[in-house]
Amino acid sequence: MMDGSICRFGGKSQLDAAVDFLDAHPGQVAMITIDIGGNDVVFCTDAACFDQALATMDANVATILGRLRTAAGPTTPMFGMTYFDPLLNHWFAGPDGEAYARGTVTLADRINAHLVDDYTAAGAPVADVAGPNGYAIDDFTIVPSQWGDAPRNVVNACTWLDIGCVPGSVGSFGDDANAAGYQVIARNYETVIDASFAVPAAPATPAAPVATTAAFTG
């Protein structure tokens, strides 16, 4: 996103294009949603690389959010998200694959914890795409599926991502959602956006005292 080495937009990096658009449309952007950071860590194969990649991700996310905030102004809401786990299809490759899948969730949880901290530091509420109302990446409850009985998180990944899921095999790699998966992501954004824009209920008006009369006879 920052240097344009993977994706470009109009001949610019995605970040430069976004900043230019915000500069050209002051006060016209209602909100910013962002999903970024995964490419900093996805290619690591050892613990030392992963730890360094997390630090790089933190720095890059802070830079991206800082530039967007400067361009958008102080009042434009920004929203981030946690990540799904595209490596859960390893579960189908026997006991070693199951152990590998569990390990990827541990790493994904670390990534997401960093992202939550990064977004929170920038004042951006976070859509919990990884959570129980999204991809549920920590939920290893066994459920039936078209791939046989498998953990709920694995079935969700196979259903909502562009990965290949083949019983008895690692399957094929992918790291994007499919149409149904993007709907899941959108619903989680919708939840946090609705909460952010909700108007607090006005305090209840105290009830007026009820006048009472009493008649005395004697």
- Please write the tens of the pLDDT for every residue from 122-166: 999 999 999 999 999 999 999 999 999 999 999 999 999 999 999
Q: Are 28 and 72 in contact (CB under 8 A)?
A: no
- Say how far residue 171 (Cα) sits from the centre of its chain: 24
For the chain, the average pLDDT equals 91
| Other C-beta atoms lying within 10 Å of the C-beta of residue 162 | 13
**Sequence-separated (6 or more) residues with CB below 8 Å from residue 43:** none
As assigned by CATH, the class of the 8-195 domain is: alpha beta
Q: Locate 202 and state its tokens.
A: 């006005």
Q: How confident is the model at residue 207 (pLDDT cuts 50, 70, 90)?
A: low
Q: Is the pTM of this model over 0.85?
A: yes
> Cβ distance 107 to 100 under 8 Å?
no
210 CB-near residues (< 8 Å, 6+ apart): none
* pLDDT at residue number 43: 84
Q: Which of 84, 196, 188 is nearest to 133 (CA)?
A: 188
Provide the β-strand partners of residue 177.
161
Domain range list for the chain: 8-195
